[in-house]
Amino acid sequence: MKTLRKASKIIDVVVFVAATLAIAGVFYEGMTLKWYDIVGMFVICMDYSFMPATIIHLIVDRKEKMIWFHVFSMVIILIAIVMKISETDYPAITLVLWYFYIWFLYGTIYVKAFWLDK
């Protein structure tokens, strides 16, 4: 369990950095009104690091109050997968909310871990 907890701290930083880059990239695309391939890579890195991070946190944080955020995250991931498989369209605002939810959640987790380690 200690190894998994250490791995969760590393993946938390990865998710937070990927979310920060994805948000900044999408914002920059909006400002320049151009599509940059690297932004798509940032979004993919964010999404595919968020999924295993959520699973790891469901295991590691099962006795903490933050577990409910990870349960919510897993439900949202499952809904997104079902919508993708069924080819259902979703409003653009959901992507913005998704990016900022991930950014705030993992920013909070990182800051909490930083302050508790001191």
Asked if 53 contacts 7 with a C-beta cutoff of 8 angstroms, the reply is: no
> What's the confidence (pLDDT) of residue 107?
94
Neighbours of 9 (CB within 10 A): 14
Whether residue 17 is predicted with pLDDT greater than 90 in this model: the reply is: yes
Kindly report which listed range (54-58, 62-66, 83-87, 105-109) carries the lowest average pLDDT score.
62-66
Q: What's the pLDDT at 116?
A: 76
pLDDT tier for residue 118 given thresholds of 50, 70 and 90: low
What pLDDT, in 10s, does the model give residues 26-60? 999 999 999 999 999 999 999 999 999 999 999 99
Q: Is 33 strand, coil or helix?
A: coil
Length of the chain in terms of residues written: 118
SS3 1: coil
**Residue 54 CB neighbours (<10 A):** 21
Tell me the DSSP string of 58-76.
HHHTTTSTTHHHHHHHHHH
CA nearest to 40, candidates 64, 54, 21, 14: 21
* pLDDT given for residue 95 in this prediction: 87
Do 80 and 89 meet the contact criterion of CB atoms below 8 Å apart? no
Pairwise CA distance, residues 29 & 54, whole Å: 28
